[in-house]
Amino acid sequence: MTDGDRLSQLLHTLHQRYQSLREGQVADYIPELSKVDPDLFSICIVTTQGEIYSVGDHDHLFTVQSISKVFSYGLALEDHGRDYVLTRVGVEPTGEDFNSIVLDEASKRPYNPMVNAGAIATTSLIKGKTPVDRLNRLLEMFNRYIGHDVFIDVSVFLSERMTGHRNRAMAHLMRNFGMIDDPIEESLDLYFQQCSVLVNCQDLAIMAATLANRGINPITQERAIDRRYVRDLLSVMYTCGMYNFAGEWAYTVGFPAKSGVSGGIIGVVPNQMGIGIFSPPLDVRGNSVRGVQVCEALSQDLNLHVFDCQGC
Ligand code: DON
């Protein structure tokens, strides 16, 4: 049996084991998301050599939601550089919910780019002469990471735009403190649009593998992000990507990851692989229940914890 066969078999075993797990709730605070089938479930791994392993509903499309925050942070860093971006959004974990209305007391910055407030501030930094230019730059960026054109789910975008009062409140608070500039409705729209980008589980794994491969898409060989900033994305994913579960995640799973409320999770094992998981039911922290279980099992079975010294 080759290593590839073993990996493929492991994914099938994990898919079978966790398919029957019936815990968690599908997100419904964005009305359009509540319509999803909770039994959809897929796991994909893409190696930095470009090998693809998939099981389950790997081509089912869903909106990327908060996973987009990692990648738009990269674009903001490329647009403005590390020092300037740090004046607008910090890199401290909050230990709070992803949608908490909290800014750093002293600096008035949102705590980090992975929580909603920080992501809105980050997205507001994306350059472009018009809203269409800014959106196109964002979509082109996703295209580089994934390797094909991406589209927006307009129903989810409108659903979120119509009900996103909490995000709107945060944007106004940050506008008050000079952390985001006018016009804030334009930046909010861009944030809602980036969350509504459609991907499948295999796309997630390729995006993650691109970060694992120092910013070069291992399928197309195209550079998706300036090599300098890959470490920034991975650092905030590691410390803040799983919200108020981030500490436990770093301890038990041990690789940078990011979740989204539609049920996606990406995991990045530097120089080895990208992991994508999709399963809509979420735990109380907003992380996919099956996704968390699968990552714990993968980390253990494949020794993926970045500080694991077995065999060192
Ligand atoms: O802003 C929101 O609430 C959503 N567009 C994204 C939230 C999200 O995915 C949080 N992740 N678990």
131-187 pLDDT, tens digit each: 999 999 999 999 999 999 999 999 999 999 999 999 999 999 999 999 999 999 999
Please tell me the residue having the least CA distance from ligand 1 atom 1. Answer: 116
Q: What is the pLDDT averaged over residues 92-101?
A: 88
pLDDT in tens, 241-280: 998 899 999 999 999 999 999 999 999 999 999 999 999 9
Residue with tokens 């472009």: 128
Indicate the pLDDT class of residue 309, thresholds 50, 70 and 90.
confident
User: Which residue among the candidates 42, 66, 100, 299 is catalytic per the annotation?
Assistant: 66
Site to substitute for ligand 1 among 32, 33, 261, most atoms within 8 A of C-beta: 261
Residue 5 has pLDDT above 80, yes or no: yes
Of ligand 1's atoms, which has the minimum distance to the CA of residue 196?
Answer: 5
CA of 65 relative to ligand 1 center, distance in Å = 5
Residue 33 has pLDDT above 70, yes or no: yes
Site to substitute for ligand 1 among 28, 29, 32, 99, most atoms within 8 A of C-beta: 99
pLDDT in tens, 236-245: 999 999 988 9
Provide CATH code, domain 67-195: 3.40.710.10
Omega of the bond leading into 113 within 30 degrees of 0 (cis):
no
Any residues with CB less than 8 A from the CB of 83 and at least 6 apart, and which? none
Q: Quote the pLDDT of residue 40.
A: 98
Of ligand 1's atoms, which has the minimum distance to the CA of residue 66?
Answer: 9
CA of 311 relative to ligand 1 center, distance in Å = 39
Burial of 130 (0-12, 13-18, 19+ CB in 10 A): exposed
Q: What is the pLDDT averaged over residues 74-86?
A: 98
CA of 9 relative to ligand 1 center, distance in Å = 33
Examine the residue annotation and report whether 261 is marked as an active-site residue of this protein: yes
Query: CA angle, corner 175, sides to 172 and 181, nearest 5?
Result: 125
Site to substitute for ligand 1 among 70, 101, 116, 277, most atoms within 8 A of C-beta: 116
Examine the residue annotation and report whether 73 is marked as an active-site residue of this protein: no
Q: What is the pLDDT averaged over residues 79-101?
A: 94
Contact call for residues 110 and 104 (beta carbons, < 8 A): yes
Contact call for residues 244 and 19 (beta carbons, < 8 A): no
Q: Quote the pLDDT of residue 310.
A: 76
Tokens standing for residue 121 = 């501030």
Q: Quote the pLDDT of residue 244.
A: 87
CA of 192 relative to ligand 1 center, distance in Å = 9
Q: Quote the pLDDT of residue 312.
A: 67
Examine the residue annotation and report whether 102 is marked as an active-site residue of this protein: no
Indicate the pLDDT class of residue 311, thresholds 50, 70 and 90.
low
Q: Quote the pLDDT of residue 47.
A: 98
User: Which residue among the candidates 53, 243, 253, 262 is catalytic per the annotation?
Assistant: 243
CA Rg value for the chain: 18
Distance CA 112, CA 114 (A): 6
Examine the residue annotation and report whether 69 is marked as an active-site residue of this protein: yes
Residue 287 has pLDDT above 90, yes or no: yes
Give the global pTM: 0.97
Q: Quote the pLDDT of residue 39.
A: 97
Q: Quote the pLDDT of residue 127.
A: 97
Q: Residues lining ligand 1, CB < 6 A?
A: 65-66, 98-99, 116, 160, 167, 195, 259-261, 286
Query: CA angle, corner 126, sides to 135 and 219, nearest 5?
Result: 70
Q: What is the pLDDT averaged over residues 54-72?
A: 98
Contact call for residues 250 and 262 (beta carbons, < 8 A): no
Distance CA 241, CA 43 (A): 19
Examine the residue annotation and report whether 259 is marked as an active-site residue of this protein: no
HEC string of the chain equals CCHHHHHHHHHHHHHHHHHCCCCCECCCCCHHHHHCCCCCCEEEEEECCCCEEEEECCCCCEECHHHHHHHHHHHHHHHHCHHHHHHHCCCCCCCCCCCCCCECCCCCCECCCCCHHHHHHHHHCCCCCCHHHHHHHHHHHHHHHHCCCCCECHHHHHHHHHHCHHHHHHHHHHHHCCCCCCCHHHHHHHHHHHHCEEECHHHHHHHHHHHHCCCECCCCCCECCCHHHHHHHHHHHHHHCCHHHHHHHHHHCCCCEEECCCCEEEEEECCCEEEEEECCCECCCCCEHHHHHHHHHHHHHHCCCCCCCCCC
Contact call for residues 255 and 208 (beta carbons, < 8 A): no
Indicate the pLDDT class of residue 111, thresholds 50, 70 and 90.
very high
Residue 100 has pLDDT above 90, yes or no: no
Mean pLDDT, the chain, rounded, equals 96
Residues of the chain with CATH 3.40.710.10: 3-65+199-302, 67-195
Is 3-65+199-302 CATH 2.40.110.10? no
